[in-house]
Structure 1
Amino acid sequence: MQTLAAIREFVYTYPKTVAVVTVTGGGGVLEEINFLWTLTGVGLFGVKKWMAGGVCHSKVQLDGKTVLITGGNTGIGKETAVDLARRDFNCLIFILELYKICCCASGARVILACRDMDRANKAAEDVRKESGNDNVIVKKLDLASLQSVRQLAKDVLANEERLDVLINNAGVMSCPKWLTEDGFEMQFGVNHLGHFLLTNCLLDLLKKSSPSRIVNVSSLAHEKGQIYFDDINLEKDYDPWKSYRQSKLANVLFTRELANRLQGTGVTTYSLHPGVIRTELGRHLWPTMPLWKRVVYKPLVFLIKSPTEGAQTTIYCAVEESLQNESGLYYSYPVIPIFIHHCILNLFINQLSRSGSNLVFNTEFFTDYSDCAPKTAAPQGLDDEAAKKLWDLSASMVGLT
């Protein structure tokens, strides 16, 4: 057992080392506890800032552009909508004595494609207020219904002159064994098939509007996923995390195959992992999470990204000029403390305790992630043969010829 003085010296000497300290009686205990609490607070603040990562610094303006965001009524979808809606080119603010006159040209025309219209209309009003752009509209989209997807595409093609950015953001995570309206496993159906059909239905308009972009919000969970071609709906062995990982890997493979098929059209594609974020996506997690994980998770909420922070990589992929000649790549978020990151991922995504596994750290994870920059996808996310096979299967499932 080290003395508190020795522990203090150790912490000052090795500030990046994690130590667990038990404090018992002795003189000056309160002073030492205050010191440790202060040190802990400063450390947590630093970790929080580190977790938040950088921001998209692109100043690209979107006057005259049209953006469609699925699931834009909450979370990172809503924050992405706010950012893109306020990217106006001519915004002149004159302050003369007691008067302030604003003369603004609108930013992008933003379409929020959502399932719950009441919440979508409320979100659209929020986006208008926060961005100062009234050109924000709502359209109905239920990704669990192929008919709804086709109806939205028909509406967009009939009423929109252009589509510059399609952001496939909506998703569901770790839900029970539910089926879509068309009988597909819910997570694969919503996260992949719905977006696959929507994207294909809007390709002609995207090509007409080129240069244009398709952004698919995936997840680091794809690294442990695989495509179960022989049981795509997981009828034999359903597990919510197995399904989620499959759907997120499908996002990466879809992006890759789409890029190959769109070469020379002026339409580029990107998939990304936004980070671990405080959003409604995890609403199915809490009821199934073991008690010990809930206890561990609570203090970590402070460290998790906010929706604004989590939206940065999506925004980056949507507007960053340097990406114009890149396509099919996978993007991630900035470097964060490895231990904290993997604790959170194991709580939210891996759910290792279900299979009796322990927390495992591999040397491959000790790699710096650049701010809003390309990151190599998992090997199974680079499989062109699997990407083509998934495309053909998906086209058959949604009725595309």
Structure 2
Amino acid sequence: MESHTKRRRVAGPVGGGDPGPNPVVGFLSWCRQVGLELSPKVTVSRQGTVAGYGMVAREDVQPGELLFAVPRAALLSQHTCSVGSLLEREQGALQSESGWVPLLLALLHELQDPASHWSPYFALWPELGRLEHPMFCPRVHSLELYHQLVAVVMAYSFQEPLEEDDDEKEPNCPLMVPAADILNHLANHNANLEYCTDCLRMVATQPIPKGHEIFNTYGQMANWQLLHMYGFVEPYPDNTDDTADIQMVTVREAALQRTKVEAERLCLFERWDFLCKLEMVGEEGAFVIGWEEVLTEEELTTTLKVLCMPAEEFREFKDQNGWGDDKREEKSLTITSIPKLTASWRQLLRDSVLLTLQTYTTDLKSEQELLNNKEVYAQLSWREQQALQVRYGQKMILHQLLKLTS
């Protein structure tokens, strides 16, 4: 099972903070000392990787093959750091919803200790001052090192999945996993981290030809999520998990456009209030649309149904509190079924997409031209390139919806 809190190395300005002439040699030596076993079929390298350090296949790798195993003792956490006993004594004062504070303090101590056991591991980290997370876009920020480590923990750390009977236990604390955090991310990844009793194992999930990079996954994440958490995006069309949002209030606005008299407006607001009561919509919510699925299917289906149904039918639906026994009118809302929806549903969805597209300051054609012009694209800053990729992917999904609702 993979973590949901792991990131790809930034594919823009690279670290450049390596303390020695060849930090990889030092790291691999450290791996042998701590019992971290790398398969002879893989190597850590800057060459042949999409960004910074990564892991590359030296020979063909087959699905199911072990790429490396990290013993529990080699994991860096609040329990294995050199101030673990102090953090345990003070755990009552270090509680937080995320559980990150003890690990952050452990990293603060270890990073500033020249004799730290983890120094060869830190040598492969990017230069902290050049992280490309959006939180560092402002020029001024306080507690600089602490904030940088927040980004590292958010981006590099792993959390072990809870078992089904662990729900009432304390939240899982994040930990750093050497070697595993070297792997870059792709939606179409070829490796996966497995949690075992004595170690964590990275296993190939697809054939990996010699010379190809080994990729982990950080979860099914849209480009805006990748940018927010990890400081990068996957260029279009690589991210098959990308999504576009249609704000819930935008659907309400699209429906209001079709009203002609005040009575119709009041009726629409009554329906909207009812949807709020059913917890299907909210002023700050959004309907999430992917390339192959509607991630908020129930919410969008119910919203289209309630806003488009005849008045008499709505009265009956409301009297039954939205959960009547008659399911004949229910429609399954998937990407492939959108062209088959009732005409009024399709029109409302289409109007909502058009309103959403109007919120962007640029149109799809101009951004296509920018992406196709490599010389002009190269002149954009790293952040401008990433923002462009986010917008373009979202617009492509929205334009797909336009075609499906036409």
Computing the radius of gyration from Cα coordinates, the structure with the larger value is: 2
TM range (shorter): under 0.3
With normalisation by structure 1, the TM-score equals 0.23
With normalisation by structure 2, the TM-score equals 0.23
Q: Per residue, is there more helix in 1 or in 2? A: 1
